[in-house]
């Protein structure tokens, strides 16, 4: 006779996890792949994954290190941490040493562990990346969402941050500032960063500066807020976006000297959970953080392509009366379909979730609803990850045939045709509303 469970597994779930689903980014990816398997044409603008291959010299470094089999130090391989300290100095003038660096299996895991070990509420602007808030909930932390406005490209305003902190100035808090932004593509000027740094200093905030898209700033001009608030900023980064290595799972945290206690607490949790990050990946990552002309060239052309596509998409969306900030870095757009509200309501579409579901069903275009990023469900925003093209081929063309030619619409039509076709389909769908 089959044994039956006496209690429902649901009842035995930790309260912090109960009712949570798998992360929206990963769900849309699996769903898109399933639809493709069933024969549907899907435009994969849901998951934010770099379309570009891992730079060849980094792949070669991994091939050379397949024999690395030992557990590595909890905080990470010394040589890699040294390379990252030098990388920080080279790119941002930040002085530090290997001691200030911690490596983890993805920056996502490091951000989670920080929220677990630090007993403070989480402050994030809305919209923010999908995982910060569920992580806070799992760790049992309170979340305060800071409102932003479309006019200011959904950016975190120093005044609003100050307003939230003023109500209880002594409360321990973690702020996550992510730029270039997922989901909006926005970035911050030096003067804006200085003001944010001023507020952070005033309230002694712990600032996680999520700079995972920093090298994909379209102009190559990323500035770290750690230059203005060094004592309280932890820089979060990794290989996933600029090196096209999301699946390698390698993330990095750079701590200031006076947050060593936090780094040590995180290392304790790491030592009791993931132990250390995969050894061959860490050895290969040393090459990624070193100064190599091949990597500079790879990044230069990756940025050109992303800038060109981002500008093109933003312009096409605006031609269709959709409001959207032009992305300044990374590979996301955050359009607002508000102008179509009445027509959409006529079709029973009242939320961003319903909007994305209907568009996926009727056109095959996969996107993520703004509500996954902390926006109100009724706001008709969504995130487009403009990454469904053959990154290897497009990069090769940009580096060779188009090295000295602009990556204009003809180039995009020829080499990113699926992306442009997705835009044509969306336009048709809007016209038929
Ligand atoms: N921050 C942001 C803004 C992201 O988009 C992602 C998604 N890759 C992460 C952090 C986590 O990246 P990873 O864990 O791959 O380092
Ligand atoms: N960060 C990516 C995104 O926003 C996906 C990877 C992930 O969520 O872990 O789509």
pLDDT band at 1 (very low <50, low <70, confident <90, very high): very low
The per-residue DSSP string of 244-266 comes to S-GGG--EEEE--GGGHHHHHHH
Interatomic CA distance for residues 332 and 95, integer angstroms: 31
Beta carbons of 173 and 123 less than 8 angstroms apart: yes
Half-sphere exposure of 368 (CA within 13 A, CB side): 30
Q: Of all protein residues, whose CA lies closest to atom 3 belonging to ligand 2? A: 48
Structure tokens belonging to residue 324? 């959207």
Neighbour tally for 20: CB within 10 Å? 12
Give ligand 2 pocket residues (Cβ under 6 A). Answer: 23, 25-26, 47-48, 108, 129, 131, 182
Structure tokens belonging to residue 34? 């399933």
Neighbour tally for 418: CB within 10 Å? 13
Interatomic CA distance for residues 418 and 424, integer angstroms: 10
Interatomic CA distance for residues 384 and 426, integer angstroms: 12
- CATH fit for domain 24-53+294-431, picks 2.60.40.1510, 3.90.1150.10, 3.40.50.11540, 3.40.50.300: 3.90.1150.10
Nearest 5°: the CA angle 375, 377, 381 is: 60
Q: Mutate which of 130, 132, 212, 246 to test ligand 1's pocket (most atoms within 8 Å of Cβ)?
A: 212
Compute, in angstroms, the gap from residue 240 CA to the centroid of ligand 1: 7
In total, the chain counts a number of residues equal to 433
**What is the pLDDT, as a whole number, of residue 130?**
97
Judge whether residue 126 has pLDDT over 70. yes
Strand pairing report for 121-125 and 173-178: parallel
Q: What are the extents of the domains in the chain?
A: 24-53+294-431, 70-291
* Chain center to CA of 270: 22
Strand pairing report for 101-104 and 382-385: unpaired
What is the average pLDDT across 269-284?
98
Architecture of the 70-291 domain: 3-Layer(aba) Sandwich (3.40)
Which ligand 2 atom lies nearest to the CA of residue 130? 4
Interatomic CA distance for residues 95 and 257, integer angstroms: 10
Of 121, 95, 55, 374, whose CA–CA distance to 235 is shortest?
95
**What is the pLDDT, as a whole number, of residue 11?**
72
**From the CB of 48, is ligand 1 less than 6 Å away?**
yes
Of 393, 55, 25, 383, whose CA–CA distance to 248 is shortest?
55
Interatomic CA distance for residues 395 and 298, integer angstroms: 8
**From the CB of 244, is ligand 1 less than 6 Å away?**
no
Per-residue pLDDT of 162-206, as tens digits, reads 999 999 999 999 999 999 999 999 999 999 999 999 999 999 999
Of 48, 80, 87, whose CA–CA distance to 279 is shortest?
80
Judge whether residue 4 has pLDDT over 90. no
pLDDT averaged over the chain?
96
Query: CB burial class (10 A; 0-12, 13-18, 19+) of residue 427?
Result: middle
Per-residue pLDDT of 127-146, as tens digits, reads 999 999 999 999 999 999 99
What is the average pLDDT across 398-425?
96
């Amino acid at each position: 006779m089959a044994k039956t469970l006496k209690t429902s597994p649901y009842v035995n779930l930790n309260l912090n996890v109960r009712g949570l689903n798998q992360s929206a980014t990963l769900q849309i990816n699996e769903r898109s792949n399933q639809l493709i398997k069933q024969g549907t044409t899907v435009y994969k603008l849901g998951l934010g994954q770099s379309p570009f291959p891992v730079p060849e010299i980094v792949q070669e470094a991994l091939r050379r290190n397949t024999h690395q089999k030992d557990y590595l130090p909890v905080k990470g391989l010394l040589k890699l941490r040294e390379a990252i300290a030098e990388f920080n100095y080279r790119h941002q003038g930040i002085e530090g040493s290997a001691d200030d660096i911690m490596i983890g299996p993805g920056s996502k895991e490091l951000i989670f562990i920080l929220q677990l070990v630090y007993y403070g509420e989480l402050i994030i602007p809305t919209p923010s990346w999908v995982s910060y808030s569920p992580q806070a909930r799992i760790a049992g932390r309170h979340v305060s969402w800071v409102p932003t406005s479309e006019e200011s490209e959904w950016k975190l305003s120093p005044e609003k941050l100050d307003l939230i902190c003023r109500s209880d100035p002594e409360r321990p808090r973690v702020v996550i500032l992510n730029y270039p932004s997922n989901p909006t593509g926005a970035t911050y000027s030096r003067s804006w960063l200085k003001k944010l740094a001023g507020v952070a200093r005033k309230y002694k905030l712990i600032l996680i500066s999520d700079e995972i898209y920093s090298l994909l700033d379209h102009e190559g001009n990323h500035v770290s807020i750690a230059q203005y608030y060094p004592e309280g900023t932890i820089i979060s980064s990794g290989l996933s976006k600029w090196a096209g290595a999301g699946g390698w799972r390698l993330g990095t945290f750079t701590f200031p000297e006076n947050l060593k206690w936090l780094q040590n607490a995180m290392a304790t949790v790491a030592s009791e959970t993931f132990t250390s990050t995969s050894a061959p990946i860490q050895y290969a990552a040393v090459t990624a953080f070193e100064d190599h002309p091949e990597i500079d060239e790879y990044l230069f052309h990756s940025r050109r392509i992303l800038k060109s596509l981002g500008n093109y998409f933003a312009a096409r969306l605006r031609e269709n009366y959709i409001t959207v900030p032009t992305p300044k870095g990374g590979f996301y757009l955050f359009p607002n379909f508000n102008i179509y509200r009445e027509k959409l309501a006529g079709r029973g579409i009242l939320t961003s979730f319903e909007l994305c579901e209907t568009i996926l069903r009727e056109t095959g275009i996969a996107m993520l609803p703004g509500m996954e990023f902390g926006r109100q469900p009724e706001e008709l925003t969504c995130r487009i990850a403009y990454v469904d093209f053959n990154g290897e081929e497009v990069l090769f063309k940009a580096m060779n045939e188009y090295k000295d030619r602009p990556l204009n619409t003809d180039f995009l039509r020829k080499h990113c045709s699926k992306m442009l076709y997705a835009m044509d389909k969306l336009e048709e769908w809007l016209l038929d509303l």
